[in-house]
A and B are shown apart, each in its own frame.
Chain A
Amino acid sequence: MIEAHALTRRFGTFTAVSNLSLHVPDGAILALLGPNGAGKTTTIRMLAGLLAPTEGNATVAGYDIRREADAVRACVGLVTDVPGLFEQMKAPAYLDFFGSIYGLPSAERTRRIDELLEFFDLKTHRNEKMAGFSKGMKQKVALARALIHEPAILYLDEPTSGLDPLAARSVRELIVGFKRSNRSIILCTHDLDEAERLADQVAIIRQGHIVALDTPSSLRKQATGETLVQIEFVGTCPLPIEEILAIDGVHNPDLKEKRATGSLSTVVQAPGSLLEYYASQPKRTNPQVLSRLVMAGAQIVTVTCETRSLEDVYASAMGEVEKASLPAVLQDSIGHKGASLADAHS
């Protein structure tokens, strides 16, 4: 379990992390999202016993990060975006070196190394120097290194960065496996899809502050209470937009042309072939809309409902600070453009 309360870290006058609090229970994954320099790595380093916080405190697996940093380091595993291997070594010797530093007895090291090499599909490469390994293989060795002492806590700082899609997928599968083995995991990533798929909780961090912390679905709900509903017709929508707007719970209805994008060309269907509207309670609103449309003779092809993605939530959390960092004149300009775009949309 990881418990942090009001962690702050300053480097001179620069505050990298400010007043950060979080709680990661056993068997849970917390994803830290944020741009470069937001404070994700500094947070991880404080929680790994590598950097002392300037203010605040935290316990990791029951150990205090200030007073028991050695014990904290003994029960955490850390993987960064750079595998950081001694590449002239062979994987078993490398893992043996770290196993020795973690104080594992010789027989246990041998068992554990065999187990990890088997698990990561590296057994056939045990007699090769790691310099010849692919990036994915190197990252697997880095994961094996982090797991050699069976840590209760795992910190994964962009573990799939630079990996090809298949290698990244296998690393994600591993992360899910680690979670099932009751480990507390903090995952720093730029990949919002990865965060959404793996994490139980997502923290969006901006300029050292946590600006949002909740489950991915709750974050989406908090960002907007409305669901975007799209109804595609054969031909055009038989009801005028005013009648659809009159239905209880329908907001911002719009008739558009359906665009089907193929591999080589985009097919544009007739105007009015796609109805879009927002509904705060789609379970109540959609049946009413659909029955009115069917009574009016609509031939419906598909009905899709979309809630906001984590990317939208992230973008809105980041948008404010980007705008705030611009000169006032530009902020006004963006404000006006935003307003005119909204007007045009409505």
Chain B
Amino acid sequence: MNAELQSNATRVPYKKANTLYITWLIARRQMLEAIRDRSTLMMSGMFLIVQTVLVLISIGPALQDHTVVGLQRAGFLMAFYLLFVGLMPATPAIGIASGVFAGDKERGCLTPLLVTPASNTAILAGKILGAVLPALAYAVIGILIYFAEIALLFGPAKLALLPVGLSILIALLIPGIVLFGTALASIISSRVRTFQAAQNFSSLILVVLWIGLFGLLFLQTVLGLWAFALGVAGVYLVAILFIAISAITWKREEVMAKQ
């Protein structure tokens, strides 16, 4: 306390803050927090090892069958693994999303943010975006490593075996699922009292997500690619609808009232 603090305490006229800018500030800080989380990094690293082993022990033998049907099967298997390697590294991020409100609340970090002039929309959107973006980044990294592994182990030409339509739809489905899972986990996190409750709910979300995914794949095999495409569109629609409704209805007061 060796310097005199210049404290004017003047009544500066209030100017409403830019919601988009504040949203980005909150999201960026949330992302840094997620990236610094060592357990997430370790889990994602572990999934990379698992996917490498899977590629070696299952895709390798499948590629030995050089018949048309055999190569089609190998292509389908590679597409199925595409979904797996995209979603597995993103799964821990859903766990992190469940702590964006409830975890911060327990650590006392949420009140200082809520007492700022940031709007309700900026806080909610920033928190959700901050949870979604790292999960998407993990998914993209997982997919890129998967392609690199196939190219390195079996040759780049084998990537051409991937069924184009299904692969594109799966590549579109992954961000949709990540968006849905992390957004839902963040929203639940903002509405429960404890981090533990938020984590329990997010575990439930994961189970529902995986069941839904297998259901979609089953639909694809029975009804064709169009059913799968409809499913992908449905996932996006539900996720966006969820976020929009939450952005309109979420109020910081509800969080404070539950403390």
Contact = CB atoms under 8 A, between A and B. Distances in A.
Interface of A: 11, 26, 45, 48-52, 61-63, 68, 70-71, 73-76, 78, 80, 82-86, 88, 97-98, 100-103, 115-116, 118-121, 142, 145, 147, 150-152, 170, 173-174, 177-178, 181-183
Given A45-B256, A83-B108, A119-B4, 12 more contacts: A11-B257, A48-B115, A49-B115, A50-B115, A50-B253, A70-B119, A101-B117, A118-B3, A119-B3, A147-B5, A174-B1, A182-B9
Contact of B117 (A45, A62, A71): A71
A258 to B, nearest CB: 42
A90 to B, nearest CB: 12
B253 A74 contact: no
A101 to B, nearest CB: 5
B25 A82 contact: no
A70 B25 contact: no
A76 B112 CA distance: 11
Given A84-B109, A84-B111, A116-B5, A152 B11 contact: yes
Contact of B256 (A51, A103, A115, A145): A51
A164 to B, nearest CB: 16
10 contacts: A48-B115, A70-B119, A85-B109, A86-B33, A115-B5, A116-B5, A121-B2, A170-B1, A181-B8, A182-B7
A152 B116 CA distance: 14
Nearest to B105: A84
B10 A102 contact: no
A281 to B, nearest CB: 42
Nearest to A11: B257
A5 B11 CA distance: 22
B1 A178 contact: no
* Chain B binding surface, main DSSP class: loop
B108 A103 contact: no
A51 B117 contact: no
A73 B1 contact: no
Nearest to A178: B7
Contacts of A78: 111-112, 115
Q: B9, B12, B36, B109 — which one has the most chain A CB atoms within 10 A of its CB? A: B9
B73 interface: no
B107 interface: yes
A74 B9 contact: no
Given A70-B14, A86-B109, A76 B115 contact: yes
A120 B5 CA distance: 9
B114 interface: yes
B17 interface: yes
A61 B11 contact: yes
A103 B5 contact: no
Nearest to B36: A88
Contacts of A83: 108
A97 B108 contact: no
A84 B107 CA distance: 6
Interface string B243-259: 00000000011001100
A103 to B, nearest CB: 5
Q: Which of A70, A142, A182 has the most CB of B within 10 A?
A: A70
